[in-house]
Amino acid sequence: MDALSESATAPAPAPAKPRPKPPKKTKRIVYFEVEILDIKTREKLLLLDKVCQSLTCQASIFTDPHWYPARQSLRLDPKGKPLRDEEILQELPVGTTATFYFRDLGAQISWGTVFLIECIGPLVIYLLFYFRLPLIYAPKYEFTDSKHLVVHIACVCHSFHYMKRIVETLFVHRLSHSTMPLRNIFKNCSYHWCFAAWMAYYINHPLYTPPYYGEKQVKAALAIFLFCQLGSFSIHMALSNLKLPSCKIKKIPYPTKNPFTWIFALVSCPNYTYELGSWLGFTLMTQCVPVLFFTVVGFIQMTVWAKGKHRSYLKEFKEYPTLRSPILPFIL
Protein backbone atom coordinates (compact mmCIF):
# COMPACT_ATOMS: atom_id res chain seq x y z
CA MET A 1 0.00 0.00 0.00
CA ASP A 2 2.88 2.41 0.93
CA ALA A 3 4.74 1.50 -2.26
CA LEU A 4 1.66 2.27 -4.34
CA SER A 5 1.15 5.62 -2.68
CA GLU A 6 4.79 6.54 -3.11
CA SER A 7 4.65 5.69 -6.81
CA ALA A 8 1.48 7.69 -7.20
CA THR A 9 2.95 10.79 -5.58
CA ALA A 10 6.32 10.59 -7.36
CA PRO A 11 6.92 13.55 -9.71
CA ALA A 12 6.60 12.84 -13.44
CA PRO A 13 9.84 12.77 -15.41
CA ALA A 14 10.68 16.02 -17.19
CA PRO A 15 9.81 15.98 -20.92
CA ALA A 16 12.74 15.59 -23.27
CA LYS A 17 13.93 18.81 -24.82
CA PRO A 18 13.12 19.02 -28.54
CA ARG A 19 16.09 18.81 -30.80
CA PRO A 20 16.95 22.13 -32.36
CA LYS A 21 15.98 22.33 -36.03
CA PRO A 22 18.92 22.45 -38.38
CA PRO A 23 19.34 25.86 -39.92
CA LYS A 24 17.69 26.25 -43.30
CA LYS A 25 20.02 26.27 -46.19
CA THR A 26 19.92 29.53 -48.03
CA LYS A 27 18.95 29.13 -51.63
CA ARG A 28 21.72 29.87 -53.98
CA ILE A 29 20.86 32.79 -56.19
CA VAL A 30 22.10 32.48 -59.74
CA TYR A 31 22.71 35.62 -61.74
CA PHE A 32 22.65 35.77 -65.52
CA GLU A 33 24.32 37.92 -68.08
CA VAL A 34 21.75 38.94 -70.68
CA GLU A 35 22.65 40.24 -74.12
CA ILE A 36 19.97 41.91 -76.27
CA LEU A 37 20.48 41.99 -80.05
CA ASP A 38 18.38 43.63 -82.74
CA ILE A 39 16.54 40.90 -84.63
CA LYS A 40 17.26 42.48 -88.03
CA THR A 41 20.70 44.02 -87.81
CA ARG A 42 22.12 41.80 -85.00
CA GLU A 43 23.40 45.01 -83.44
CA LYS A 44 23.96 44.82 -79.69
CA LEU A 45 21.31 46.98 -78.05
CA LEU A 46 21.85 46.23 -74.40
CA LEU A 47 24.03 44.17 -72.06
CA LEU A 48 22.60 43.42 -68.63
CA ASP A 49 24.89 42.10 -65.90
CA LYS A 50 23.79 40.25 -62.74
CA VAL A 51 20.19 39.66 -63.84
CA CYS A 52 18.12 37.78 -61.25
CA GLN A 53 17.07 34.23 -62.22
CA SER A 54 13.42 34.93 -61.39
CA LEU A 55 13.11 37.73 -63.95
CA THR A 56 10.14 37.24 -66.28
CA CYS A 57 9.93 38.17 -69.92
CA GLN A 58 7.19 40.60 -69.01
CA ALA A 59 9.70 42.93 -67.39
CA SER A 60 10.55 45.92 -69.52
CA ILE A 61 14.00 45.86 -71.10
CA PHE A 62 14.36 49.53 -71.87
CA THR A 63 13.57 52.33 -69.45
CA ASP A 64 12.82 54.74 -72.28
CA PRO A 65 9.01 55.44 -72.28
CA HIS A 66 9.05 55.16 -76.07
CA TRP A 67 9.81 51.44 -75.75
CA TYR A 68 6.98 50.51 -73.40
CA PRO A 69 6.59 46.78 -72.59
CA ALA A 70 3.64 46.15 -74.95
CA ARG A 71 5.73 46.93 -78.04
CA GLN A 72 8.71 44.76 -77.00
CA SER A 73 9.09 41.22 -78.30
CA LEU A 74 11.88 38.84 -77.25
CA ARG A 75 12.98 35.60 -78.93
CA LEU A 76 15.72 33.07 -78.26
CA ASP A 77 16.10 32.53 -81.99
CA PRO A 78 15.53 35.12 -84.73
CA LYS A 79 13.14 32.73 -86.52
CA GLY A 80 11.62 31.29 -83.34
CA LYS A 81 8.39 32.13 -81.56
CA PRO A 82 8.14 35.17 -79.25
CA LEU A 83 8.60 34.37 -75.58
CA ARG A 84 5.53 34.60 -73.39
CA ASP A 85 5.36 37.33 -70.76
CA GLU A 86 5.11 34.87 -67.88
CA GLU A 87 8.19 32.79 -68.82
CA ILE A 88 10.98 32.94 -66.21
CA LEU A 89 14.63 33.35 -67.12
CA GLN A 90 15.87 30.33 -65.16
CA GLU A 91 13.35 28.04 -66.91
CA LEU A 92 14.50 28.96 -70.40
CA PRO A 93 16.98 26.74 -72.28
CA VAL A 94 19.88 29.16 -71.82
CA GLY A 95 23.13 29.17 -69.87
CA THR A 96 24.27 31.83 -67.43
CA THR A 97 24.98 33.96 -70.49
CA ALA A 98 21.75 34.41 -72.45
CA THR A 99 21.24 36.05 -75.82
CA PHE A 100 17.84 37.43 -76.77
CA TYR A 101 16.67 38.93 -80.04
CA PHE A 102 14.57 42.06 -79.77
CA ARG A 103 11.85 43.16 -82.16
CA ASP A 104 9.93 46.39 -82.02
CA LEU A 105 6.23 45.62 -82.53
CA GLY A 106 5.45 49.25 -83.28
CA ALA A 107 2.91 51.53 -81.64
CA GLN A 108 0.23 49.50 -79.86
CA ILE A 109 -3.46 49.95 -79.14
CA SER A 110 -5.62 47.96 -76.75
CA TRP A 111 -7.80 45.22 -78.22
CA GLY A 112 -10.78 46.56 -76.32
CA THR A 113 -10.47 49.91 -78.09
CA VAL A 114 -10.11 48.15 -81.44
CA PHE A 115 -13.27 46.11 -80.92
CA LEU A 116 -15.23 49.19 -79.90
CA ILE A 117 -14.13 51.16 -82.97
CA GLU A 118 -14.84 48.17 -85.22
CA CYS A 119 -18.39 47.83 -83.85
CA ILE A 120 -19.42 51.46 -83.44
CA GLY A 121 -18.52 52.20 -87.07
CA PRO A 122 -20.87 49.67 -88.74
CA LEU A 123 -23.62 50.52 -86.25
CA VAL A 124 -23.56 54.21 -87.16
CA ILE A 125 -22.94 53.72 -90.89
CA TYR A 126 -25.88 51.35 -91.32
CA LEU A 127 -28.25 53.78 -89.59
CA LEU A 128 -27.15 56.60 -91.93
CA PHE A 129 -28.45 54.58 -94.87
CA TYR A 130 -31.52 53.34 -92.99
CA PHE A 131 -32.71 56.90 -92.24
CA ARG A 132 -31.86 57.86 -95.84
CA LEU A 133 -29.89 60.94 -95.00
CA PRO A 134 -29.22 63.48 -97.79
CA LEU A 135 -26.57 62.80 -100.47
CA ILE A 136 -27.11 59.01 -100.26
CA TYR A 137 -30.16 58.39 -102.45
CA ALA A 138 -32.22 60.63 -104.74
CA PRO A 139 -33.50 63.82 -103.04
CA LYS A 140 -37.12 62.65 -103.20
CA TYR A 141 -36.28 59.70 -100.94
CA GLU A 142 -34.46 61.71 -98.24
CA PHE A 143 -35.69 60.96 -94.69
CA THR A 144 -38.34 58.53 -95.98
CA ASP A 145 -39.23 55.07 -94.64
CA SER A 146 -39.14 51.85 -96.60
CA LYS A 147 -42.46 50.23 -97.35
CA HIS A 148 -41.06 46.73 -96.74
CA LEU A 149 -41.17 45.31 -93.20
CA VAL A 150 -38.03 43.21 -93.79
CA VAL A 151 -35.96 46.40 -94.16
CA HIS A 152 -36.91 47.49 -90.64
CA ILE A 153 -36.34 44.02 -89.21
CA ALA A 154 -32.92 43.87 -90.87
CA CYS A 155 -31.96 47.22 -89.33
CA VAL A 156 -32.98 46.01 -85.86
CA CYS A 157 -31.02 42.77 -86.31
CA HIS A 158 -27.90 44.51 -87.62
CA SER A 159 -27.97 47.08 -84.81
CA PHE A 160 -28.64 44.40 -82.19
CA HIS A 161 -25.64 42.37 -83.39
CA TYR A 162 -23.16 45.22 -83.05
CA MET A 163 -24.64 46.52 -79.80
CA LYS A 164 -24.26 43.00 -78.39
CA ARG A 165 -20.61 42.99 -79.44
CA ILE A 166 -20.05 46.36 -77.76
CA VAL A 167 -21.57 45.09 -74.50
CA GLU A 168 -19.45 41.93 -74.70
CA THR A 169 -16.31 43.98 -75.27
CA LEU A 170 -17.02 46.15 -72.24
CA PHE A 171 -18.26 43.54 -69.78
CA VAL A 172 -17.67 39.96 -70.98
CA HIS A 173 -14.48 39.38 -72.97
CA ARG A 174 -11.23 38.45 -71.23
CA LEU A 175 -8.65 38.90 -73.97
CA SER A 176 -5.47 36.79 -74.11
CA HIS A 177 -3.52 39.67 -75.69
CA SER A 178 -3.96 43.17 -74.30
CA THR A 179 -2.73 45.10 -77.35
CA MET A 180 -2.27 44.91 -81.10
CA PRO A 181 -0.22 47.02 -83.56
CA LEU A 182 -1.87 50.38 -84.18
CA ARG A 183 -1.45 50.00 -87.97
CA ASN A 184 -3.80 46.98 -87.99
CA ILE A 185 -6.77 49.04 -86.87
CA PHE A 186 -7.07 50.64 -90.32
CA LYS A 187 -7.27 47.23 -91.99
CA ASN A 188 -9.79 45.89 -89.47
CA CYS A 189 -12.00 48.96 -89.56
CA SER A 190 -11.97 49.32 -93.33
CA TYR A 191 -13.21 45.71 -93.62
CA HIS A 192 -16.15 46.14 -91.23
CA TRP A 193 -17.03 49.70 -92.14
CA CYS A 194 -16.94 49.26 -95.92
CA PHE A 195 -18.99 46.08 -95.84
CA ALA A 196 -21.54 47.74 -93.57
CA ALA A 197 -21.93 50.60 -96.06
CA TRP A 198 -22.18 48.21 -99.01
CA MET A 199 -24.85 46.08 -97.34
CA ALA A 200 -26.81 49.04 -96.00
CA TYR A 201 -26.87 50.79 -99.37
CA TYR A 202 -28.67 47.91 -101.10
CA ILE A 203 -30.91 46.79 -98.23
CA ASN A 204 -32.20 50.32 -97.61
CA HIS A 205 -32.33 51.30 -101.29
CA PRO A 206 -35.72 52.65 -102.41
CA LEU A 207 -35.84 50.02 -105.17
CA TYR A 208 -35.01 47.11 -102.84
CA THR A 209 -37.25 44.07 -103.31
CA PRO A 210 -38.10 41.69 -100.42
CA PRO A 211 -37.08 37.98 -100.36
CA TYR A 212 -38.57 35.59 -102.89
CA TYR A 213 -40.61 33.59 -100.36
CA GLY A 214 -41.74 36.68 -98.52
CA GLU A 215 -42.83 36.62 -94.89
CA LYS A 216 -42.13 32.90 -94.35
CA GLN A 217 -38.51 33.32 -95.44
CA VAL A 218 -38.06 36.38 -93.23
CA LYS A 219 -39.50 34.65 -90.14
CA ALA A 220 -37.36 31.54 -90.63
CA ALA A 221 -34.23 33.62 -91.15
CA LEU A 222 -35.05 35.77 -88.11
CA ALA A 223 -35.36 32.63 -85.95
CA ILE A 224 -31.95 31.43 -87.16
CA PHE A 225 -30.39 34.82 -86.51
CA LEU A 226 -31.76 35.16 -82.96
CA PHE A 227 -30.89 31.56 -82.07
CA CYS A 228 -27.28 32.05 -83.16
CA GLN A 229 -27.01 35.40 -81.40
CA LEU A 230 -28.06 33.79 -78.13
CA GLY A 231 -25.62 30.96 -78.80
CA SER A 232 -22.78 33.37 -79.47
CA PHE A 233 -23.43 35.27 -76.24
CA SER A 234 -23.59 31.99 -74.27
CA ILE A 235 -20.23 30.84 -75.66
CA HIS A 236 -18.58 34.15 -74.85
CA MET A 237 -19.92 33.97 -71.29
CA ALA A 238 -18.62 30.40 -70.91
CA LEU A 239 -15.17 31.38 -72.20
CA SER A 240 -15.11 34.42 -69.91
CA ASN A 241 -15.93 32.29 -66.86
CA LEU A 242 -13.13 29.93 -67.85
CA LYS A 243 -10.49 32.65 -67.48
CA LEU A 244 -9.93 34.11 -64.04
CA PRO A 245 -8.75 37.75 -64.03
CA SER A 246 -5.46 37.04 -62.23
CA CYS A 247 -4.72 33.62 -63.72
CA LYS A 248 -3.06 32.94 -67.05
CA ILE A 249 -3.41 29.14 -66.93
CA LYS A 250 -5.29 27.94 -70.00
CA LYS A 251 -8.11 25.43 -69.63
CA ILE A 252 -10.09 23.24 -72.02
CA PRO A 253 -13.61 24.62 -72.57
CA TYR A 254 -16.34 22.07 -71.94
CA PRO A 255 -20.15 22.15 -72.26
CA THR A 256 -22.01 23.65 -69.30
CA LYS A 257 -25.63 23.39 -68.16
CA ASN A 258 -26.51 25.99 -70.79
CA PRO A 259 -27.79 24.04 -73.86
CA PHE A 260 -26.17 26.57 -76.21
CA THR A 261 -22.75 25.45 -74.97
CA TRP A 262 -23.32 21.75 -75.70
CA ILE A 263 -21.81 22.33 -79.15
CA PHE A 264 -18.43 22.38 -77.36
CA ALA A 265 -18.64 18.57 -77.54
CA LEU A 266 -18.17 18.77 -81.31
CA VAL A 267 -16.48 22.10 -82.08
CA SER A 268 -13.41 23.87 -80.70
CA CYS A 269 -14.57 27.40 -81.61
CA PRO A 270 -18.38 27.46 -81.43
CA ASN A 271 -18.35 31.25 -81.15
CA TYR A 272 -17.32 31.30 -84.81
CA THR A 273 -19.93 28.65 -85.62
CA TYR A 274 -22.70 30.78 -84.15
CA GLU A 275 -21.29 33.90 -85.83
CA LEU A 276 -21.47 32.13 -89.19
CA GLY A 277 -25.04 31.03 -88.45
CA SER A 278 -26.06 34.58 -87.59
CA TRP A 279 -24.84 35.97 -90.89
CA LEU A 280 -26.32 33.08 -92.85
CA GLY A 281 -29.66 33.95 -91.26
CA PHE A 282 -29.16 37.62 -92.12
CA THR A 283 -28.30 36.66 -95.71
CA LEU A 284 -31.44 34.53 -95.99
CA MET A 285 -33.52 37.33 -94.47
CA THR A 286 -32.35 40.09 -96.80
CA GLN A 287 -31.55 37.98 -99.88
CA CYS A 288 -28.83 40.50 -100.68
CA VAL A 289 -25.62 39.72 -102.58
CA PRO A 290 -23.33 42.04 -100.53
CA VAL A 291 -24.47 40.29 -97.34
CA LEU A 292 -23.71 36.90 -98.88
CA PHE A 293 -20.26 38.11 -99.94
CA PHE A 294 -19.60 39.45 -96.43
CA THR A 295 -20.66 36.10 -94.95
CA VAL A 296 -18.35 34.11 -97.25
CA VAL A 297 -15.33 36.35 -96.57
CA GLY A 298 -16.02 36.22 -92.85
CA PHE A 299 -16.35 32.45 -92.92
CA ILE A 300 -12.97 32.07 -94.64
CA GLN A 301 -11.27 34.29 -92.06
CA MET A 302 -12.99 32.62 -89.09
CA THR A 303 -11.99 29.21 -90.43
CA VAL A 304 -8.33 30.28 -90.43
CA TRP A 305 -8.65 31.50 -86.83
CA ALA A 306 -10.54 28.38 -85.73
CA LYS A 307 -7.96 26.01 -87.25
CA GLY A 308 -5.16 27.88 -85.50
CA LYS A 309 -6.99 27.71 -82.17
CA HIS A 310 -7.75 24.03 -82.68
CA ARG A 311 -4.08 23.24 -83.37
CA SER A 312 -3.13 25.21 -80.27
CA TYR A 313 -5.53 23.16 -78.13
CA LEU A 314 -4.18 19.87 -79.49
CA LYS A 315 -0.61 20.97 -78.84
CA GLU A 316 -1.18 22.26 -75.31
CA PHE A 317 -3.52 19.56 -73.97
CA LYS A 318 -2.80 15.85 -74.39
CA GLU A 319 -6.29 14.99 -73.14
CA TYR A 320 -8.04 17.32 -75.61
CA PRO A 321 -11.17 15.66 -77.12
CA THR A 322 -10.30 14.26 -80.53
CA LEU A 323 -13.92 14.30 -81.70
CA ARG A 324 -13.96 18.07 -82.02
CA SER A 325 -13.60 19.93 -85.31
CA PRO A 326 -12.38 23.54 -85.59
CA ILE A 327 -15.60 25.27 -86.70
CA LEU A 328 -18.09 22.88 -88.39
CA PRO A 329 -18.91 19.54 -86.71
CA PHE A 330 -17.40 16.55 -88.58
CA ILE A 331 -16.70 18.75 -91.63
CA LEU A 332 -14.15 21.48 -91.02
Asked if residue 259 and residue 156 are part of one domain, the reply reads yes
Q: Name the residue range of residue 37's domain.
A: 32-53+88-104
326 found inside a domain: no
- pTM for this predicted structure: 0.80
- pLDDT on residue 216: 96
Backbone angles phi, psi at 68, to 5 degrees: -70, 155
Asked if residue 154 and residue 92 are part of one domain, the reply reads no
- pLDDT on residue 97: 78
CB 284 within 8 A of CB 217: yes
- pLDDT on residue 296: 97
278 found inside a domain: yes
Asked if residue 147 and residue 93 are part of one domain, the reply reads no
- pLDDT on residue 103: 83
245 found inside a domain: yes
Domain boundary among 104, 135, 165: 104
d(CA 106, CA 117): 20
CB 116 within 8 A of CB 165: no
Asked if residue 126 and residue 96 are part of one domain, the reply reads no
CB 232 within 8 A of CB 239: no
Average predicted confidence (pLDDT) for the chain: 85
User: Chunked in runs of 10, what are the mean pLDDT values of the chain (332 residues)?
Assistant: 47 61 62 80 78 59 66 81 74 76 84 90 96 94 94 97 95 78 87 96 96 95 98 95 71 94 96 97 97 97 96 92 94 90
Asked if residue 264 and residue 166 are part of one domain, the reply reads yes
Asked if residue 162 and residue 268 are part of one domain, the reply reads yes
- pLDDT on residue 4: 42
- pLDDT on residue 306: 96
User: What is the dihedral angle through the alpha carbons of 243, 247, 248, 251, rounded to the nearest 10 degrees?
Assistant: -50
- pLDDT on residue 1: 47
- pLDDT on residue 55: 61
22 found inside a domain: no
Residue 4, Cβ density class (10 Å: 0-12 exposed, 13-18 middle, ≥19 buried): exposed
Asked if residue 240 and residue 281 are part of one domain, the reply reads yes
Asked if residue 95 and residue 159 are part of one domain, the reply reads no
Q: Which amino acid is at 45?
A: L
- pLDDT on residue 46: 77
Number of structural domains (the chain) is 2
Asked if residue 153 and residue 99 are part of one domain, the reply reads no
